[in-house]
Amino acid sequence: MTQDALLQTLGLRKEFGGLVAVDDVSFVVPEGSIVSLIGPNGAGKTTFFNMLTGVYKPTAGRVIFLGEDLTTKPPHAFTQRGIGRTFQNIRLFKNMTALENVLVGMHVRLKGNLVEAILRTPRVRHEEAAARATARELLEFCGLRRKDEEIGKNMSYGDQRRLEVARALATQPKLLLLDEPTAGMNPQETQEFTEFVGRLRTERGLTVLLIEHDMRVVMGVSDRVTVLDYGEKIAEGTPQEIQRNQRVIEAYLGTAAVSS
């Protein structure tokens, strides 16, 4: 194991009935890096992601985060240890305000319990006030200034994406998993978002793992790229290496296109 590995998987495998969605994938996310996971549709990227956050339990293999084996833990344990995520098809709490969405994200970082909440002890009051202030800061950081009282479902698509990131950041992650964050964005928004991901690392010291289709984002921001095809890892390396890799080109364009 490398010294600075934040997240590591060992032979991670997921079968749905007879279908092997992810086939013995081992890979490492070094601390402080931005790693991208790419691959054609149906390559098993999101399934892989879901195993990294405890939403799916792997059929075989292990997920190791900060040296701790989290494989059999429930999702909230992953969040608690410092893995935050967004969803490919936005899964906000649609009828809650932006602020409340972020506050739910803070759940594991707050302590107030049932009795304290009923009695509204000074500790809970301070904690709530502080949480609200932090939530507002996060919303502002994600470009959602003065939108804290807006209901999730009434927000624009771009804002919903931003809110998902804000909510994930509220869990105070060390590693942030973004599942196709630029899907449905126009080139302008995509450009802004790429810069935003860079800021997450420089300003917040986050490690980022990205699933992405847009090659400009992938090549522009990642340190390393991992390529999945039919559940298997077919290549790994710097963006430049990946762009030249024969198997990757075949996977994306088809064998016929390459050989002709």
Partner 1 sequence: MRARLVKAVADAWWLVLSRFGLSRHRWQTLPRLTRRTVKAVVWVALGLVLVAFFGVWKLSALAVAAVVLVLVVPPYGKVTFRGRPVGKAILPVAVLALAITYPFYGVVSSMPQLPIFGPVPQMSTMVGMAVFTMMALGLNFVVGYAGLLDLGYVAFYAMGSYMAGWFASSQFADQNINFGGIGVAPGVTGFHFSIWLVLIMAGIATAIIGVIIGLPTLRLRGDYLAIVTLGFGEIMPQVARNGDSLFGFNLTNGTGGITPIDGPGFGGWFHHHLGLPANYLTLGTNADRVFFWTALVLVLLTVFASARLRDSRLGRAWIAIREDEVAAAAMGVPLMRTKTWAYATGAFFGGVAGAYYASYNGGAFPDEFFFNISVFILCMVILGGMGNIWGVIFGACFLEYLDREGLANIGAWLNGHFGPGGSDFQIWHKTLDVPLYEFGIFGAILVIVMLFRPEGLIPSSRRAAEFREGVHDEPLYDVEHDERLYTPETT
> Which listed residue (87, 141, 193, 196) binds partner 1 by CB under 8 A?
87
Q: Which stretch binds partner 1 (CB under 8 A): 5-13, 119-127, 192-200, 226-234?
A: 119-127
Asked if 100 touches partner 1 (CB under 8 A), the answer is yes
Determine the 3-state secondary structure of 104 from DSSP. helix
Binding partner 1 (rule: CB under 8 A), the pick from 26, 72, 156, 186 is 72
Nearer to partner 1 among residue 39 and residue 84 (C-beta):
84
DSSP 254: -
Please provide residue 88's backbone torsions phi and psi, each rounded to the nearest 5 degrees. Answer: -65, -50
By the rule CB under 8 A, 16 interacts with partner 1? yes
Gap between the Cα atoms of 245 and 148, Å rounded: 45
**Does 120 engage in binding with partner 1 (CB under 8 A)?**
yes
Q: How far apart are CA 86 and CA 139, in angstroms?
A: 15
Tokens of 210: 């990205």
Q: Does 143 interact with partner 1 (rule: CB under 8 A)?
A: no
**Window 51 to 70, contacts with partner 1 (CB under 8 A):** 53-57
Q: What is d(CA 78, CA 91) in angstroms, rounded to the nearest whole number?
A: 18
The C-alpha angle with vertex 188 and arms to 192 and 160, in degrees rounded to 5, equals 65
**Interacting residues toward partner 1 by CB under 8 A:** 16, 50, 53-57, 72-77, 79-80, 85, 87, 91-96, 100, 103-105, 107-108, 110, 112-114, 117-120, 124, 128, 151, 153, 167-168, 170-171
